[in-house]
Amino acid sequence: MVLILCGKSCTGKDTIKRNLVNYYNFTPLITLTTRPKRDNEIDGVDYNFISLSELENLAHNGRIIEYRKFNTLVNGKEGTWFYATPLYHLEDLEDYVIILDPRGARKFIDYHGKDNCCLLCIESDEISRLNRAKQRPNFDQTEWDRRLETDSKDFGYFELYDNVYSYILN
């Protein structure tokens, strides 16, 4: 079974995932990103940090379920970041956990099957989310504003959850 954690930025997804891995023996499925690693992140734990050419190679070879492109502005510097969900070989008796956005969750469920996935949507108020964001190293208000706008678009379309989500945690 794969537990998919889905929620807006800074809703506690990483904390829940870490607890599931550390205390309940879930196996983490790690997504890919081309964005720079933050000071507190660990390659292979938080994300697999890869180059754009590595991502293009994986996509060309059919090793990606889905990917998303984000145009960013951090510290006044424009950039383009990609996030991707690689294909995984899943063992039937293993419990997995992965963090995905709504589109990624839909594609993952379509690929692996609804019977093999449980979608947990995590909600949190905006003040708590902002406070969590400001505690992160390298907090950037412009990038936070972009993430809020993206979250508004991504989570404004609730058809994703029709007959798919299992739980909503507030």
Q: What is the pLDDT along the chain (170 residues), one digit of tens a residue?
A: 999 999 999 999 999 999 999 999 999 999 999 999 988 889 999 999 999 999 999 999 999 999 999 888 777 788 899 999 999 888 888 999 999 988 899 899 999 998 999 999 898 898 999 999 999 888 889 889 988 998 888 887 555 555 555 566 65
Angle at 147 between CA 35 and CA 125, to 5 degrees: 135
Q: What's the pTM value of the predicted model, to 2 decimals? A: 0.86
H helices, E strands: number in the chain? 5, 9
**Side-chain half-sphere CA neighbours of 67 within 13 A:** 23
Contact partners, residue 165, CB within 8 Å, separation at least 6: 119, 120, 121
Cβ–Cβ under 8 Å, residues 109 and 117? yes
